[in-house]
Amino acid sequence: MRRILAALVLFLPTMAAAEDIVVPSAVTRATLYPDGAALTRLAEAELPAGSGAVIVTGLPRGLNPDTLRVSGAGDFQIGAVSYRDRRLPPRAPEDGAAIEAARAEIARLEAAIREATAEIGAIRLRIDAARARLDFLSSVGASKAAEPLAGTSPAEIRDLARMLGEETLAARSAAHAAEQEIAAAERARAELDEELAEARAALEALTRPAPPGAALRVEVRAVAATSARLEIRYQSPAAAWQPVYDLRLSRGETATLELVRGALVRQATGGDWTGVALTLSTARPSGQTGPSEVMPRRLRIGPPVTADRQRISGESEMLSGAAEPAQSAPAADAIGARTEMQGLTVVYRYPDPVDVASGAEAARLALDRIALAPDLTAVAAPRLDATAYLVAEAENASGELILPGPVSFYMDGAFVGSGRIGLWAGGETARFPFGPIEGLRLSRRILERLEGDRGVISRSNRVFERAEIAVENLTDRAWPVQLRDRVPYSEQEDLRIDYTAEPPADTADPDGLRGVLEWRFEIAPGGTRTIRLEHEISWPEGDILR
C-alpha cells in the first residue's frame, strides 16, 4: 500500500497548484499506548464554492499511509487523499504573538544596552576630566613650590593653598562618585546582557527550524463558500507512556499507605505538542491480538543413543533442516508475554491540555491517589543481614489493575529508596520494602559444627551443625517480626537430613521455598528473642556430598 500510494503521488505534476489552499496542521488529541500512539491533527481552511484541493502541511515524515484517516466538519465533501513527504510547497514563515513578543523584547533589550553603553561612556569622560583636573592642580602646586616665596605675602600663600586643596578635593570627589556610578552602570549592563541572551534563546526555541515534514493533498468539493475543519488521524510508533508511582508510608498510631499514581509521557514525532488533549491507554495495538496456536508434538522412541551417535544425529538434523521448527520453537509464547492485559484495557483521560516537546523531555503527569491499609512487619534474615527491614503489606482494594512501573518509596515524608511495582491485580496482596530498622539487631552464631573424623562423629558421611539466632530490639516500640532461616533439603532417598528448631518454626517451606523456615513473633522494646536451630546430614559411605 505504501509503495502504491508513493508511486501515485510521484506522478502528480506539483503538490500545490495555484488554486490549492495550503494550511498548517497541529496535533490536538493523542491517545498514548505503552508502545505507540494514535494521533489526531486539526487543519482549518476557508473553502470557496466548487472543487479544489487543500494542502495540509506539518505532518511527520515516515508516516504509514495505511493508518491515515481524514474526516471533515462543514458543508463540503472529501475526495481523494494523497500523502507526500518530498517536493513539498514552501513553508510559510512562522509568525505569532509569542514570536512577535520575543522579537520585541530583544529589540527593547538591545536599545537598553545601547543606552547603558552610552551612559558608561559619559561617566568615563567625567572620570577622565576629574583626573585631568587633578594632574593640572598637582602641576600648579609643584611649580608654585619651586618659585621663590620672597615678595609673596602670607595671605596669598594661604589663599593659594586653600584653592589647591579645595579644587583637589572636588576633583577627587567627582572621580570617586563617577567610579561608583560606572560600577553600578556596568553591573546593570551585565544584567541586560544576560536578559538579552535569554530572550534570544527563547526566540530560537520558538523559531527553531522544523524537521523535514510531509503533507496531505485533500480534494474537496463545496456547494457554497464554507469554513472547513479537517481531522487527520494516524498511528505513530514515536510516542509512548509508562506508569510511575510514589508509595508514601506514614507511621503513627495507625499506619497509612498511599499510592500516588503518575504517568511518564515521551514523544519524538517530529513536532512539539501544545495544548493537546491526552488519553492514556493500557492497550497494545501493536502487540498480539489473538491467541497463540497450540501445535501438536510428536514423540518417538528408539535404541539408546551413544555420544558419537548423538553427535552424528545432531549434525544430520542441522544439515537437513529437520526438527519441525514451527512445533518446537517457543517464539509464540514469547510474543504472548507482551499482551499482559489479556484484553483488559484501562483508560486515563488527562483533564488538562498538555505540552510535550518532541524528543526533548519526559513529561510527568499526576493521575490520582489510592489509599491503602498496610500491615507493617519487620522482616529479618539473620543469615544474610545484620538488621531487620520494614515491609508494608497491603491489599489492592481499588478494584483496578495496577500496572507495572518504577516506584519511589517515602516513609514519614523522607525518601528511602526506589524499586519497581509488578502487575498488581485487584484484591491481590503485595509487599513493599521501606528500608532498614536500625534498632533491630540480628545475629547468627554457629555453636557447633562437626564433619568427617573431627569431634564425636568419626565417619566421613555425616555432618552436624548447631546455630543460635538472636533478635534484639533497641527501639522504643514493639515490632511484629517475620524471621526466616534455612536448613538443607534433599530430593534423594539416601541423602537423609534431620533438623530440630527451638522454638519450632511457624511455617515450613513458605511460598514453596524448600528448606526455608519461618518464625513470626512480636518483640517488645528492649527485648531479645533467641532461636536454636540444628541439623544433621547423613549419606551412604562411598558417596560424596555435593
Q: Mean pLDDT lowest for which of 101-105, 201-205, 362-366, 383-387?
A: 201-205
As a whole number of Å, the CA-based R_g of the chain is 42
* Candidate ranges 92-106, 122-136, 367-381; pick with highest mean pLDDT: 367-381
More confident residue, 271 or 258: 258
Report CA-CA distances (Å) from 536 to 426, 448, 465, 484, 527: 44, 11, 7, 19, 31
Distance, in Å, from the CA atom of 353 to the CA atom of 349, rounded to the nearest integer, reads 10
pLDDT at 319: 35
Residue 330 dihedral angles phi and psi, to the nearest 5°: -90, 20
Contacts of residues 283-286 at CB distance under 8 Å and 24 or more positions apart, as own/partner, are 283/33, 283/341, 283/345, 284/33, 284/34, 284/35, 284/338, 284/339, 284/341, 285/33, 285/36, 285/38, 285/235, 286/33, 286/35, 286/36, 286/237
Distance, in Å, from the CA atom of 455 to the CA atom of 271, rounded to the nearest integer, reads 78
Distance, in Å, from the CA atom of 463 to the CA atom of 473, rounded to the nearest integer, reads 33
Mean pLDDT of 507-520: 94
Tell me the pLDDT tens digit for each residue of 30-57: 999 988 999 999 999 999 999 999 988 8
pLDDT at 29: 94
* Candidate ranges 87-101, 291-305, 452-466; pick with highest mean pLDDT: 291-305
The answer to whether 12 touches 81, Cβ cutoff 8 Å, is no
Mean pLDDT of 168-191: 85
Mean pLDDT of 232-238: 91
What does the mean pLDDT of the chain come to?
Answer: 80
Q: Mean pLDDT lowest for which of 181-185, 294-298, 449-453?
A: 449-453
More confident residue, 459 or 1: 459
Domain boundaries, the chain: 2-91+211-237, 97-207
More confident residue, 313 or 134: 134
91 confidence band (pLDDT: 50, 70, 90): low
328 confidence band (pLDDT: 50, 70, 90): very low
460 confidence band (pLDDT: 50, 70, 90): low
pLDDT at 162: 78
Asked if the model's pLDDT at residue 18 lies above 90, the reply is no
